[in-house]
Amino acid sequence: MDSAREQGLWKRGVLWLLLLGPLFFASYGFANWFTGQREDVGSLVFAWEPQIPLWPWTIVPYWSIDLLYGLSFLLPACRREMDRHALRLLAAQVICVACFLLWPLRFTFERPPLDGTFGLMFDVLMGFDKPFNQAPSLHITLLVIIWAMFANHIRGLFWRGLLHGWMALIGISVLTTWQHHFIDLPTGALAGFFCLWLLPLQGDTPLKQIRLASDPRRWRLALRYGLGATLCAVLAVKLGGAWLWLFWPAASLALVALNYQLFGAGGFQKQANGRLSPAATTLLAPYLLGAWINSRLWTFRKPAPSQIVEGIDLGRLPAMGDLGGYAALVDLCAELPLQHTPQNYCSLPSLDLVAPDALTCQRAAEAIENLRHKGPVLVCCALGYSRSATAVAAWLLHSGRCQGVDAAVALIRQARPQVVLGPQHLAALQSMVDAQPGLEVAHAG
């Protein structure tokens, strides 16, 4: 575990437990009671689920999440991490209980009487747990959050293997104790990863990044992704069965739509190592797959980067083995992860199909200028046609190699004819120049 820890954190953890514990039993109990009074509670069971065995011994890992819940408050190394962890658990409670009240489902299997210690543990469980609170499984939602906290602090191959094995067993136990139907598991996992995304341990919560988009193009893209999410959700509801998995791409596209409309590039949570956060990767997985395939199809005929000037190349986001010969990388892509990060790396996440603003252009120009002294630099985005081309044009202006926006764009198009730089890109570049009077003169001399 981490050695550098703030002193006295256990007291803060106890206070959080004193708040969350009663809230858990009060809200969960109320949802059980309220749903038990209703006559419109349905169920969602797949035809193969009666084949799931009842393993009484798995009540032990099932119950163990309560112990791990409390122990997880001993792990945070600082006040921020403690509070974010507690707020994640609080968000999980609010989300799941709200779903139980809005869309109640009932567990339909009748568990036979059980004897011995395991039977006693089941009896205690059923004293406060009723078969009404199903999707999303609060047990799975909490498991995702607790698992993430332990994974951040447990070190050593053996202990990490034990951790992941036991956590996976807890996940399986919700089925083998006949506590949940299958639909509750993926929906619970989705809710858990949403809590992780909403309250990251590093960086601001997306709620602090909310800025209503003023660019009409962002609104149009948000609308398209929103329509895609709606279509997937409608198909899932209408077709049922295995088509219910379409709720995953529905959630993925809905989150992308919100990124364009509200959260901006920060909603993709691309980190300093070039990868997206685990939560964003999971939530956005269907979209990420489509975006990666799209990037490869568009660049199929010209996968190699293009040299703009000596030492500065422009291209698509490189795959694992495509970084040979480059000492540094400037990455403008927000939505795709980088599989291998070079030692000299700068990430300036920008939304796809949207022109970077003047500030991003300036930062990109400065990053390229600083990194080019390390050796050959690759400037990239998903295709290497727009965002990264804007960044290279910004550097050409910043360094004085070109005396105007038109000249910079012409030089780039000569080397890479496929680039797409529209009026918004040119306006952003001109705004960068206008914001720094004498820029061209200073660098040209």
Phi, psi angle pair for 106, to nearest 5°: -120, 140
The helix/strand/coil state of 316 is strand
Q: Which residues contact 258 (CB under 8 A, 6 or more apart)?
A: 222, 267
Lookup result for tokens 């300093």: 272
Q: Cα(330)–Cα(361) distance, rounded to whole angstroms?
A: 12
Lookup result for tokens 């269907």: 286
284 is written with which tokens?
A: 């956005």
Q: Cα(21)–Cα(178) distance, rounded to whole angstroms?
A: 25
Q: Which of 232, 333, 380, 381 is catalytic?
A: 381
286 is written with which tokens?
A: 């269907």
180 is written with which tokens?
A: 């949940």
- Distance between the two ends of the chain, CA-based, in angstroms? 56
Annotation marks residue 346 as catalytic:
no
CA-based nearest residue to 376, from 339, 348, 342: 342
Helices (H), 37-58: none
Q: How many helices (H) and strands (E) does the chain have?
A: 16, 5
Torsion of CA 262, 268, 269, 275, to 10 degrees: -170
Which residue type sits at 54? L
Q: Cα(207)–Cα(54) distance, rounded to whole angstroms?
A: 42
Is the dihedral angle over the CA atoms 43, 46, 50, 56 positive or is it negative? negative
341 is written with which tokens?
A: 């990060």
CB 342 within 8 A of CB 359: no
CB 315 within 8 A of CB 305: yes
The helix/strand/coil state of 307 is strand
CB 97 within 8 A of CB 27: yes
Q: DSSP states of 79-124 as a string?
A: HHHHHHHHHHHHHHHHHHHHHHHHS-B-----PPP--HHHHHHHHH
Residues in the chain: 445
357 is written with which tokens?
A: 């603003």
Planar angle of CA 350, 428, 274, nearest 5 degrees: 20
- Known catalytic residues? 381
